[in-house]
Protein backbone atom coordinates (compact mmCIF):
# COMPACT_ATOMS: atom_id res chain seq x y z
CA UNK A 1 0.00 0.00 0.00
CA UNK A 2 1.40 3.39 -1.02
CA UNK A 3 2.00 5.82 1.81
CA UNK A 4 1.02 9.49 1.72
CA UNK A 5 3.43 12.14 2.98
CA UNK A 6 1.72 15.18 4.44
CA UNK A 7 3.11 18.67 4.84
CA UNK A 8 -0.02 20.03 6.51
CA UNK A 9 -3.09 18.41 8.05
CA UNK A 10 -5.71 20.49 9.83
CA UNK A 11 -7.28 18.64 12.75
CA UNK A 12 -9.38 21.75 13.29
CA UNK A 13 -10.95 21.27 9.84
CA UNK A 14 -11.51 17.59 10.47
CA UNK A 15 -13.38 18.53 13.63
CA UNK A 16 -15.73 20.66 11.53
CA UNK A 17 -17.14 17.42 10.15
CA UNK A 18 -19.25 16.72 13.24
CA UNK A 19 -21.71 13.88 13.85
CA UNK A 20 -25.43 14.61 13.67
CA UNK A 21 -27.00 12.59 16.53
CA UNK A 22 -30.45 12.43 14.96
CA UNK A 23 -29.08 10.70 11.88
CA UNK A 24 -27.43 7.72 13.54
CA UNK A 25 -28.36 4.66 11.54
CA UNK A 26 -27.12 1.94 13.83
CA UNK A 27 -25.24 1.61 17.12
CA UNK A 28 -21.58 2.43 16.74
CA UNK A 29 -21.96 4.38 13.50
CA UNK A 30 -21.80 8.11 12.90
CA UNK A 31 -23.44 10.29 10.30
CA UNK A 32 -21.30 13.36 9.59
CA UNK A 33 -22.98 16.48 8.25
CA UNK A 34 -20.41 18.56 6.40
CA UNK A 35 -20.33 21.71 4.30
CA UNK A 36 -20.44 19.49 1.20
CA UNK A 37 -22.95 16.87 2.32
CA UNK A 38 -23.23 13.89 4.63
CA UNK A 39 -20.66 11.18 5.25
CA UNK A 40 -21.23 7.88 7.03
CA UNK A 41 -18.39 6.79 9.31
CA UNK A 42 -17.93 3.51 11.11
CA UNK A 43 -17.35 3.60 14.83
CA UNK A 44 -13.86 4.96 15.55
CA UNK A 45 -11.11 2.51 16.31
CA UNK A 46 -9.72 2.35 19.79
CA UNK A 47 -6.45 3.88 18.70
CA UNK A 48 -6.79 7.66 18.25
CA UNK A 49 -4.37 7.84 15.32
CA UNK A 50 -6.17 5.03 13.51
CA UNK A 51 -9.51 6.75 14.05
CA UNK A 52 -8.08 10.01 12.77
CA UNK A 53 -6.64 8.34 9.70
CA UNK A 54 -9.89 6.56 8.95
CA UNK A 55 -11.89 9.74 9.33
CA UNK A 56 -9.48 11.62 7.09
CA UNK A 57 -9.67 8.92 4.41
CA UNK A 58 -13.45 9.02 4.35
CA UNK A 59 -13.67 12.81 4.39
CA UNK A 60 -11.13 13.06 1.58
CA UNK A 61 -12.98 10.33 -0.31
CA UNK A 62 -16.10 12.44 -0.15
CA UNK A 63 -14.28 15.62 -1.19
CA UNK A 64 -12.87 13.77 -4.20
CA UNK A 65 -16.44 13.60 -5.48
CA UNK A 66 -17.51 17.15 -4.68
CA UNK A 67 -14.57 19.58 -4.48
CA UNK A 68 -13.91 21.78 -7.52
CA UNK A 69 -10.59 22.50 -9.22
CA UNK A 70 -9.08 25.64 -7.66
CA UNK A 71 -8.67 27.42 -11.00
CA UNK A 72 -12.32 27.10 -12.01
CA UNK A 73 -14.27 30.35 -12.33
CA UNK A 74 -17.14 31.44 -10.07
CA UNK A 75 -15.86 29.80 -6.88
CA UNK A 76 -17.55 31.12 -3.75
CA UNK A 77 -16.24 31.54 -0.19
CA UNK A 78 -16.97 28.48 1.90
CA UNK A 79 -16.77 26.05 -1.01
CA UNK A 80 -14.21 23.24 -1.20
CA UNK A 81 -11.50 22.98 -3.85
CA UNK A 82 -8.71 20.59 -4.72
CA UNK A 83 -5.36 21.67 -6.05
CA UNK A 84 -2.13 20.33 -7.47
CA UNK A 85 0.71 22.84 -7.68
CA UNK A 86 4.26 23.49 -6.52
CA UNK A 87 3.95 25.35 -3.22
CA UNK A 88 6.42 27.30 -1.14
CA UNK A 89 5.52 27.86 2.50
CA UNK A 90 6.34 30.74 4.80
CA UNK A 91 5.84 31.73 8.40
CA UNK A 92 5.82 35.23 9.83
CA UNK A 93 7.45 36.53 12.96
CA UNK A 94 6.26 38.52 15.95
CA UNK A 95 2.51 38.88 16.43
CA UNK A 96 1.67 36.78 13.34
CA UNK A 97 4.02 33.86 14.02
CA UNK A 98 1.11 31.37 14.25
CA UNK A 99 0.31 31.88 10.56
CA UNK A 100 1.71 29.75 7.74
CA UNK A 101 1.30 30.83 4.12
CA UNK A 102 1.60 28.65 1.01
CA UNK A 103 1.97 30.16 -2.46
CA UNK A 104 2.59 28.84 -5.95
CA UNK A 105 5.55 30.01 -8.05
CA UNK A 106 5.54 33.32 -9.87
CA UNK A 107 3.99 32.56 -13.28
CA UNK A 108 6.60 31.54 -15.83
CA UNK A 109 9.39 30.80 -13.34
CA UNK A 110 8.86 27.02 -13.08
CA UNK A 111 9.15 25.41 -16.54
CA UNK A 112 7.65 22.15 -15.23
CA UNK A 113 4.48 23.84 -13.95
CA UNK A 114 1.99 24.90 -16.62
CA UNK A 115 0.37 27.77 -14.72
CA UNK A 116 -3.44 27.42 -14.82
CA UNK A 117 -4.09 31.16 -15.04
CA UNK A 118 -4.96 31.43 -11.35
CA UNK A 119 -2.60 32.09 -8.45
CA UNK A 120 -3.02 30.10 -5.24
CA UNK A 121 -2.51 31.52 -1.74
CA UNK A 122 -3.24 29.24 1.21
CA UNK A 123 -3.29 30.36 4.85
CA UNK A 124 -3.32 28.14 7.93
CA UNK A 125 -1.83 27.58 11.36
CA UNK A 126 1.73 26.44 12.01
CA UNK A 127 0.28 23.98 14.55
CA UNK A 128 -0.89 21.82 11.65
CA UNK A 129 2.49 21.59 9.88
CA UNK A 130 3.97 18.08 9.90
CA UNK A 131 7.73 17.64 9.91
CA UNK A 132 8.66 20.63 7.77
CA UNK A 133 10.48 23.87 8.47
CA UNK A 134 8.89 26.73 6.53
CA UNK A 135 10.81 29.81 5.45
CA UNK A 136 10.48 32.50 8.15
CA UNK A 137 10.03 35.98 6.76
CA UNK A 138 10.01 39.32 8.50
CA UNK A 139 6.95 40.16 10.56
CA UNK A 140 3.95 41.77 8.90
CA UNK A 141 4.51 45.45 9.61
CA UNK A 142 1.44 47.63 9.77
CA UNK A 143 3.09 50.69 8.21
CA UNK A 144 5.19 51.06 5.09
CA UNK A 145 8.92 51.31 5.67
CA UNK A 146 12.18 50.06 4.25
CA UNK A 147 14.19 49.58 7.39
CA UNK A 148 14.53 46.76 9.90
CA UNK A 149 11.96 44.00 9.99
CA UNK A 150 11.38 43.69 6.26
CA UNK A 151 11.89 40.55 4.17
CA UNK A 152 15.01 40.53 2.02
CA UNK A 153 14.73 44.27 1.48
CA UNK A 154 11.10 44.02 0.38
CA UNK A 155 8.78 45.49 3.01
CA UNK A 156 5.23 44.41 3.51
CA UNK A 157 3.13 47.51 3.04
CA UNK A 158 0.18 48.64 5.12
CA UNK A 159 -2.46 46.77 3.12
CA UNK A 160 -0.51 43.51 3.49
CA UNK A 161 -0.48 43.95 7.25
CA UNK A 162 -4.24 44.38 7.20
CA UNK A 163 -4.80 41.24 5.17
CA UNK A 164 -2.61 39.21 7.52
CA UNK A 165 -4.75 40.34 10.44
CA UNK A 166 -7.88 39.43 8.50
CA UNK A 167 -6.56 35.96 7.63
CA UNK A 168 -5.59 35.27 11.24
CA UNK A 169 -9.02 36.40 12.43
CA UNK A 170 -7.88 39.41 14.43
CA UNK A 171 -9.82 41.70 12.12
CA UNK A 172 -12.85 39.39 11.84
CA UNK A 173 -15.48 39.57 10.57
CA UNK A 174 -14.06 41.98 7.97
CA UNK A 175 -12.83 39.99 4.92
CA UNK A 176 -9.33 40.52 3.55
CA UNK A 177 -9.30 43.23 0.88
CA UNK A 178 -8.29 42.35 -2.68
CA UNK A 179 -5.47 44.89 -2.78
CA UNK A 180 -4.13 43.65 0.54
CA UNK A 181 -4.01 40.09 -0.76
CA UNK A 182 -2.19 41.18 -3.88
CA UNK A 183 0.29 43.22 -1.84
CA UNK A 184 0.97 40.24 0.41
CA UNK A 185 1.40 37.93 -2.58
CA UNK A 186 3.76 40.41 -4.23
CA UNK A 187 5.89 40.54 -1.07
CA UNK A 188 6.10 36.74 -0.97
CA UNK A 189 6.87 36.59 -4.69
CA UNK A 190 9.82 38.93 -4.15
CA UNK A 191 11.40 36.28 -1.89
CA UNK A 192 11.13 33.42 -4.37
CA UNK A 193 14.39 33.92 -6.33
CA UNK A 194 16.33 33.22 -3.12
CA UNK A 195 14.41 30.04 -2.23
CA UNK A 196 14.79 26.42 -3.38
CA UNK A 197 12.47 24.95 -5.99
CA UNK A 198 8.94 24.44 -4.69
CA UNK A 199 7.86 20.81 -4.20
CA UNK A 200 4.85 19.57 -6.15
CA UNK A 201 1.91 19.19 -3.79
CA UNK A 202 -1.78 18.41 -3.79
CA UNK A 203 -4.63 18.74 -1.35
CA UNK A 204 -7.99 20.19 -0.40
CA UNK A 205 -8.88 23.64 0.90
CA UNK A 206 -11.88 25.75 1.79
CA UNK A 207 -12.26 28.98 -0.18
CA UNK A 208 -11.73 32.25 1.67
CA UNK A 209 -11.87 34.60 -1.32
CA UNK A 210 -11.64 34.50 -5.11
CA UNK A 211 -10.06 37.59 -6.64
CA UNK A 212 -10.71 38.43 -10.30
CA UNK A 213 -7.92 39.14 -12.74
CA UNK A 214 -6.73 42.69 -13.23
CA UNK A 215 -4.77 44.37 -15.98
CA UNK A 216 -1.55 43.52 -14.14
CA UNK A 217 -2.32 40.30 -12.28
CA UNK A 218 -4.04 36.95 -12.91
CA UNK A 219 -6.92 35.65 -10.85
CA UNK A 220 -6.05 34.56 -7.30
CA UNK A 221 -7.74 32.04 -5.06
CA UNK A 222 -7.28 32.47 -1.31
CA UNK A 223 -8.16 29.38 0.74
CA UNK A 224 -7.54 27.59 4.04
CA UNK A 225 -6.23 24.03 3.59
CA UNK A 226 -7.46 20.80 5.09
CA UNK A 227 -4.49 18.91 3.63
CA UNK A 228 -1.29 19.68 1.77
CA UNK A 229 0.72 16.60 0.77
CA UNK A 230 3.54 15.74 -1.57
CA UNK A 231 2.35 14.56 -4.97
CA UNK A 232 3.70 11.05 -5.55
Compute mean pLDDT per 10 residues along the chain, 232 residues long, and list them: 86 77 49 46 57 85 92 93 94 72 91 90 90 63 33 35 58 58 83 84 93 90 94 89
Shared domain check, 54 and 17:
yes
The pLDDT score that the predictor gives to residue 137 is 63
Residue 75 CA to residue 90 CA, distance in Å, equals: 25
Q: Which residues contact 226 (CB under 8 A, 6 or more apart)?
A: 9, 10, 13, 14, 59, 60, 63, 203, 204, 205, 206
**Domain boundary residue among 32, 52, 68?**
68
Residue 108 domain flag: yes
Beta strand 219-230 with 6-9: parallel, antiparallel or unpaired? antiparallel
Shared domain check, 92 and 151:
yes
The pLDDT score that the predictor gives to residue 15 is 82
Q: How far is CA 79 from CA 14, 29, 73, 195, in A?
A: 15, 27, 12, 31
Asked whether 180 and 209 are in contact (CB, 8 A), the reply is no
**Domain boundary residue among 19, 42, 68?**
68
Shared domain check, 217 and 135:
yes
Residue 185 domain flag: yes
The three-state (H, E, C) secondary structure of the chain, written as one string: CCCCCEEEECHHHHCCCEECHHHCCCCCCEEEEECCEEEEECCCCCCHHHHHHHHHHHHHHHHHHHCEECCCCCCCCCCEEEEEEECEEEECCHHHCCEEEEECCCCCCCCCCCCCCEEEEEEEEHHHECCCCCEECCCCCCCCCCCCCCECCECCCHHHHHHHHHHCCCCCCCCCCHHHHHHHHHHHHHHHHHCCCCCEEEEEEEEEEEECCCCCCCEEEEEEEEEEEECC
Residue 95 domain flag: yes
Q: What does the pLDDT look like over 99-125, one tens digit per residue?
A: 888 999 999 899 889 888 999 999 988
Residue 188 domain flag: yes
Residue 1 domain flag: no
Shared domain check, 78 and 64:
no
Q: How far is CA 59 from CA 79, 139, 163, in A?
A: 15, 35, 30
Residue 31 domain flag: yes
Shared domain check, 191 and 142:
yes
**In total, how many domains does the chain have?**
2
Q: What does the pLDDT look like over 65-109, one tens digit per residue?
A: 999 999 999 999 999 999 999 999 887 766 567 788 899 999 989
Residue 203 domain flag: yes
Shared domain check, 115 and 15:
no
The pLDDT score that the predictor gives to residue 115 is 80
Structural domain range at position 40: 6-68
Shared domain check, 20 and 129:
no
Shared domain check, 76 and 61:
no
Shared domain check, 202 and 90:
yes
Residue 32 CA to residue 130 CA, distance in Å, equals: 26
The pLDDT score that the predictor gives to residue 45 is 45
Shared domain check, 226 and 202:
yes
Shared domain check, 223 and 193:
yes
Shared domain check, 122 and 222:
yes
Q: Enumerate the β-bridge partners of residue 173.
A: none
Amino acid sequence: MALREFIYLSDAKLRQFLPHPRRLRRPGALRLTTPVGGIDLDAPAGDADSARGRQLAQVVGHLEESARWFAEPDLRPGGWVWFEAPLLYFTLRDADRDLVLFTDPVPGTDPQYPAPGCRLLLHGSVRHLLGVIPVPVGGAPLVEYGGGGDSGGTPFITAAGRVVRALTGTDAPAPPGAQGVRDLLAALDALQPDLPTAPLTQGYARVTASLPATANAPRCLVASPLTVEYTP
